[in-house]
Structure 1
Amino acid sequence: MIRIGRPRRFTRNLIVPVDLPGKRLLVKYNRDLDEARQERRGHEALRSRYRVPALHASMRVPGGYVMVYERLAGGRDNGLLVDLLSADGVGEELRVYLDRLTDAYRENILVTAVLEDPVRVVRKLYWDRAAPGGRLDSYYAKAQLALSLADAEIPFDDLGAWTLTINSQDTRLDWQATLKDLRTHFENAGPVWAALTQGDPTDVNLAVPLAWFDYDTAGTNCVLGEFANFLTYVTTLGGWLVPTYNPAAFADHPAVVDRRPDNTPVVTKQSVEAARRSLHIAYESRLSAPRRAAVTAYWHRLVLPVAARLWPGQDLAALLRPYVAMRLLGVYDLGDLTPTDRLLVIVRLVEALSPYFDPITYFHIEEAPCLPH
C-alpha cells in the first residue's frame, strides 16, 4: 500500500509525506533548480557532522526538482522544536534538548571555524539580500512607506527629522542612511568567522529528537549571522510574525498560532507632538517562558563561549547589530505588514541600531542557570 499525505507549502516549496511498505518518506518539490542544487550540496556537507535525515533520491522533473528524504517521526504539535516552544511551560524535555542543541553547535562551530572571505560563505540570508537587486532593493528602493501612529502618517524618509521616544529612551532613525549602512556593511570584503552549520536554524528546521532539516543554506556560514538568525527567529519571527503572516506553515503545529498572543509585542501608548517633531511610543515586549529558556540557553551555552574564542574582548552587541537589522528588514517586506506590526518592527529595528543596544534585554536573556559543560 502507498499512502500519500496532504501537501504542505513552505514559501515556494511543496512538501508531501508518502508512506511505502516499511518506509516513511518526505517528498520535497522545489521550483528553483539552483536552490535545489544548493540543498543537495548543503545536505552532503552537513551530514558529516550533524544528524540529518537520509536523502534517498533527487531528480529533475518538469518545472522543478524533487528530493526524497527519510521522514522522521512526528505528528500534530509533535516532532519539532516549535512544539516544545509552544508548550505551557519549560519542561525537562526542552532543557535536555537545548543542552544537546547547544553542545552540538558549540563543538562543530569551534572545530570548523575559519576566517573566510565573504564570497566563499553562504550568502543567501545576508549578503545577497543586501546586494543590488536583493531584498533591500526589491522591498524598499521605490517604496513609499509610512509609520502610522496616533492618527498620524509619518513617511519613513522623514523619520530622521523626528525624535523617537521609545519606552522613555530618545533616539532617531534615518531610514535611507540605515539602508545604505546595511548595504555598505555587506559589501565589505573583509574576512568573517565562518563555520559549518545549517544556516537557517528556525524552530521548524530543528527536529525532536535533535536533527536538522532544510539545507539550501547549509555549508560554511557566517557565525554572527547564525547567532542573529536563531535569536531573532525565536524572539521575533517564530512566535509572532511568521504565524501571523504564514499560518499555513503551521497546519500540523497549530499550538504556535494559539500561543501567538504570548509572543506578540503590544503598543501601550502612542502620541505625536507635531510642533516639536516628536513621537512617543511605549510598548511591552512579550516572550513566552519556553522561548526565553531557548534564547537563554543558546546565549550562555553557545554564543558566549564561541565569542570568547573568536572575538575576545570585542563588543558583541556591535558585531551582531547589522545581522539583527537584516533579519528584521530582509524576511518580510514592511509594506506588507499591518500598520501596528510595521510600527513594532521599526521600534525593534531602532532598538537594535541604538548605541544602547543590549542583547541581554533585547532578546529576553535570563541569568544562566548553570555553566556549559
Structure 2
Amino acid sequence: MPKGKGGRKAPKGCFWRDGVLYGRIQTGGLDVKWSLRTDDPAVARSRRKAERDRAVATQRYGDQRRTFEEALQGWGKFIPTQISESTFKRYVTSLDVLAPHLQGLYVDEIDKALIGSIVESRRDVPAVPKGRKHPVTASIATIKRDLTALSSVCDWMVDEGWRDDNPVITWLKPGRRRRSRLQERRDPIVLPLMAHVEMVIERAPALFAGMIRAALKTGARLDELVKADRAHLDRDRRQLTIIGKRNKLRVIDLIDAGEDFGFEVLSSLPASIETKALFWHRAEAGPRSRLGQRRAERYRQASSNFGRIVEAVAEQAQKQDQDFRPFPFHDLRHLHAVNWLKSGRSIYVLQQRLGHTSIKTTEMYLAYLTPEEVQTVTLGKTAAGSKSGNRPSVQDHKP
C-alpha cells in the first residue's frame, strides 16, 4: 500500500496518490473517490468523515445534512438587512460566545437538550468575558440575549426549510406557554439625585453635558440621542423626531403646558457643517499629529465616555469626602419618567414619549407615586383637570 512522506499510513477509508490523501466511500452501490487536498492524516480523517456523513444523509434522507456553520453563513448574509447595525453586532458577539457549544454540529443536532446544557453552562460555569481579567458567571439577562441571537439563526433555518422547529423557543417556552422559563429578578430602580446628576454634568465636556441634560428632559435613550441629526429637531413646532429600537420612529414635544422638556438645551447646541449629528465631538489631535484639528464626528463610544465621567466624579467626590452615588446613563430616562408623572401628566402620553409598546412597561413608574397621583396620571384630572397637568416636577419641588 502506498505511503506518504516519512512512511505515514493513510487513515481508514483513505489512500495516498502522488503525495496527496484521497477519500473513498461506498454509497448507493457506487464506489466514490475524491481528493482530500491534504497530506495530513488527521485532517484527511476528519474531511473524509464529514463527506461520508453527507453522502449517507443524501442516500437515506434525500438531502444532505446541513451544518450549523452553513446556517450561520446563510443567516449572516440575510439578517443585516432586517435588523439595526447595533443589534447585528450584539448578535454576533453572543454567537461568538456560544461558538464552543455549536462548533462541528449539524442543524438537526441542535435540540432542547443542547439548549438546556448551554444555559446551564453559561449560568453555572465562570468564564472570562472579552475585555475582562477575571471569570464571572453570566446573568439571566445576558443568557437571554445570547439565546435571542441563536433563536434568530434557528428562525432562519426554519424559513429555509432546514428544520421544522426553533429549539430555543421550544426550550424557553415548553408546551407553547407564554411565560419564559428564564425570568430575570430585577432590583428596584434607585433614582439618581439631581445634585449627583449636576456633578456629572459639570464634569462632562460641553456637548456631552448637553446630551445628559437632553436625556433628563426628553427621556430619550443614549443611543437615540447619539443617532439624532439636526434635521430631527423641528424648531418651529418645538418637537424632536427620535429613531428608537428596531428603527421605530416617534415624535415628542419639547414644550408641554409652557414647561421646557428639552427645547432649550437642544436649540442651543452648536452645529458643525462637518457632520449631521445633533451631538458631536472633535477628537483631540496628538502633540505630534500633522493632521491639525480633527473633523467633527458623531459620538462612537458614548456609553464608555459616560462611564469614565461618572468614575472620575466618584473618585473626586471620595477625595473630597462628598456624597455621590454613581448611576448609569439609562437612569436619566427613569428620572424623566418619574418627574413627568409627579407633575400630574398622563401616563399614556409618557408611554408614547418613551416609545413603550405596552403600557405595562410604563406602569412600573407608578411605584414612585402616591395613590392620589396614580389616580391623576391614569384616570385623568376628572377630579382635578385634564390628563396633561403641570404640577412641579420632582427636581423642582421645594420642601
Task: Give me the TM-score of the superposition, normalised by structure 2.
Answer: 0.25
The structure carrying a bigger strand percent of its residues is 1
The structure carrying a bigger helix percent of its residues is 2
Task: Give me the TM-score of the superposition, normalised by structure 1.
Answer: 0.26
Tell me which structure has the larger Cα radius of gyration.
2
